[in-house]
Amino acid sequence: MENKIKQLLLEQSEQLFGIKIEEKSVQFQLTRKEFEGDVTLVVFPFAKLLKSSPIDAANQIGEFLKQHISEIASYNVVQGFLNISLSSEYWKNKLFAIDTDNSFGRKKADSKGTILVEYSSPNTNKPLHLGHLRNNFLGYSVAEILKANGHKVIKTQIINDRGIHICKSMLAWERFSPVNINGERETPENTSLKGDKLVGKYYVVFDQEFNKEAKELIAKWESNEFDGFSAHVVEQYQKFVEAKIGKEEKAQADLDAKIKELAKNETSLLRDAKEMLVKWEARDPQTYLLWSTMNGWVYDGFKTTYEAMGVNFDRLYYESETYLLGKDLVSEGLSKGVFYKKEDGSVWVDLTADGMDEKLLLRGDGTAVYMTQDLGTALDRKKDYPDLEGVVYTVGNEQDYHFKVLFLVLKKLGYSWADKCFHLSYGMVDLPSGKMKSREGTVVDADELMTEVVQSAKEMTSERGHLEGMSSEQKDVLFKQIGMGGLKYYLLKVDPKKRMMFNPEESIELTGNTGPFIQYAHARINSLLAKAGEINGYDTALLGNEEKELIKVLAQYPAVIHEAGSAYSPALIANYCYELVKAFNHFYQSVPMLIEEDKSVRDLRLVISRNVSKVIVNSLLLLGVESPQKM
């Protein structure tokens, strides 16, 4: 209706205002609850044109609209706002259109351009954790929302399967894994550990041994034992020690941190990890075999976790393959004079003129960095999908700067399509105990958390009852739907840009803005419709205010999908769904349903309920959440 009103005002502006008006001057806003009306037109821009007060201008426009648009029943004016009330027939027709449209809210599939959505993108040196859950649920949901907006979507991830961090796990397993009576080191088979968890265990072990060795080096330096260390290292250490004299506690702590970092860089463990990376890039057979074996363990573990999450991918990219393309791009940039080489052989790009800094693209020993790989991956994707209209990178906001650099470097290399790359930056997930740290093993494991919420859903649902007639298999499916639905909804209802605190107990509660609260509304409607039996026409039904208000909320659904796609924000879908359920619950408590004596009114209310259920199901699917038939 807003589009119809806008079109009429634009077409008839010369007759009404004496001049041609611009589209941006026609503005609408939500009608405030204390005023009667369905659509509110802001009149202030027109008062000057009509050379009258805002109230007189609103009345003049209101009368004009009522004469030309039959669906307008009445209007009222509040200061400079024209509140327009639409006829009952309009809302009944709107309900009929919603009811008969199985794809209500969705645009025609593949009617818009191709967008690639990247999410998950894990490192193969540790299992997935709570932060990965937010990432995966967010990326998957954004992909589904973009599909609903008519885009062809490619779901993808770049698996970070190479680099110094991967070598740390490999080296630790090689050095510190115990040998059993069969002469075997630890494997997923002989320990019954998921492969990603076994590899992650040795990433933590590396950090523990790394810190232990650094501590031992510092103890030597404190005893003036500097044999084997370069003059530069000794000079740096003594400089930091001297600087501590007379300093306050915080300044001393900062200098101690610098001494620790200096010691870490001199450890044999870090040196050996770097040497292992050089060997890997040179395709040393023994190193490559160890790498492929341990990565294989991790991939098996990831597959199980992704299945439990309910997410999938259309295409996988591997850093071990794309980093070579990145190296080619670095060479291209050098030949073009976009990049430069330092004396140690490292390659850099100077972005100071763009308000940034100098960025390393290739180390002096020839090994690649993250930026090298991301440059290669971006080019690889564009070659694979030449029709790409956009690439969405779902990555935490601690990488904001990285993506600004990535997109800018691509543009400097002459790739104009970098303007179509978007960083879907999201806030971290905090715990009551503080920030998670993978190296210290203080993360919330994704598998364990999913198991926990499903178990909690089982306990909660079993206590409530209402499971009569369900087999044990059906119950298990229900518990997973409720637990995982609660977890996903909880992590998606918050605006992606915001940092959030996670509380697993709150996520499965049946009251408040939670997934189970919305799932329960769907189950209630499902039960209601099953009891109602056949539903016939409602042509003669009188449309009351309660019915109209709920139809109005339903009618907002297409606009919400569009806005969620434009903002890359599943939170808009989640919170719309919550408002819809609250409106339905009010409706359900305010009017009789099955006991309504007027058959046409009864059926009208049931059709409204049926479409609330339909929109709930479709909204939750966009979030990756299932809707149980019974709870």
pLDDT at site 30: 87
φ/ψ (deg, to 5) at 153: -120, 135
Q: Contact at 8 Å (CB) between 141 and 155?
A: no
Residue 74, classed as helix, strand or coil, is: strand
* pTM strictly above 0.85: yes
Helix ranges, 177-318 (H): 188-191, 195-222, 231-244, 249-265, 268-281, 285-309
Reply yes or no on whether the pLDDT at 308 is more than 70: yes
Q: Is 183 left (phi over 0), alpha (psi -120 to 50) or beta?
A: left
User: Quick one: how far is CA 163 from the chain centroid?
Assistant: 26
DSSP class of 123: B
User: Quick one: how far is CA 564 from the chain centroid?
Assistant: 12
pLDDT at site 443: 72
Closest residue by Cα to residue 144 from 588, 484, 561: 561
Closest residue by Cα to residue 571 from 494, 485, 480: 494
pLDDT at site 430: 81
Reply yes or no on whether the pLDDT at 168 is more than 70: yes
DSSP class of 30: P
DSSP class of 399: G
Closest residue by Cα to residue 149 from 568, 494, 472: 568
The single residue listed with the structure tokens 């990145």 is 326
pLDDT at site 469: 85
Query: Which pLDDT band, with edges at 50, 70 and 90, does 439 fall under?
Result: very low
Reply yes or no on whether the pLDDT at 438 is more than 50: no
List pLDDT tens digits, range 220-244: 999 999 999 999 999 999 999 999 9
Q: Cα separation of 423 and 391, whole Å?
A: 8
pLDDT at site 44: 92
List pLDDT tens digits, range 85-94: 999 999 999 9
Q: Contact at 8 Å (CB) between 458 and 141?
A: no
pLDDT at site 236: 96
Question: What's the whole-number average pLDDT of the chain?
Answer: 94
Looking at residues 86-109, what average pLDDT do you find? 96
Looking at residues 428-441, what average pLDDT do you find? 59
- Label the pairing between strands 315-318 and 151-159: parallel
Closest residue by Cα to residue 424 from 625, 109, 113, 141: 141
List pLDDT tens digits, range 462-485: 888 778 889 999 999 999 999 999
Q: Cα separation of 29 and 44, whole Å?
A: 13
3-state secondary structure 427-477: CCEEECCECCCCCCCCCCEHHHHHHHHHHHHHHHHHHHCCCCCCCHHHHHH
Closest residue by Cα to residue 467 from 409, 541, 523, 535: 523
Name 78's bridge partners.
81
List pLDDT tens digits, range 487-530: 999 999 999 999 998 888 889 999 999 999 999 999 999 999 99
Task: List all residues 6 or more positions away from 114 whose beta carbon is below 8 Å from its beta carbon.
Answer: 151, 152, 153, 154, 385, 387, 388, 389
List pLDDT tens digits, range 333-369: 999 999 999 999 999 999 999 999 999 999 998 888 8
Closest residue by Cα to residue 119 from 150, 153, 149, 158: 158
Closest residue by Cα to residue 427 from 458, 395, 404: 395
Share above pLDDT 90 across residues of the chain, in percent, rounded to a whole number: 87
Q: Cα separation of 456 and 508, whole Å?
A: 8
pLDDT at site 433: 61
**Which domains are delineated in the chain?**
2-86 (3.30.1360.70), 164-202+286-430 (3.40.50.620), 446-622 (1.10.730.10)
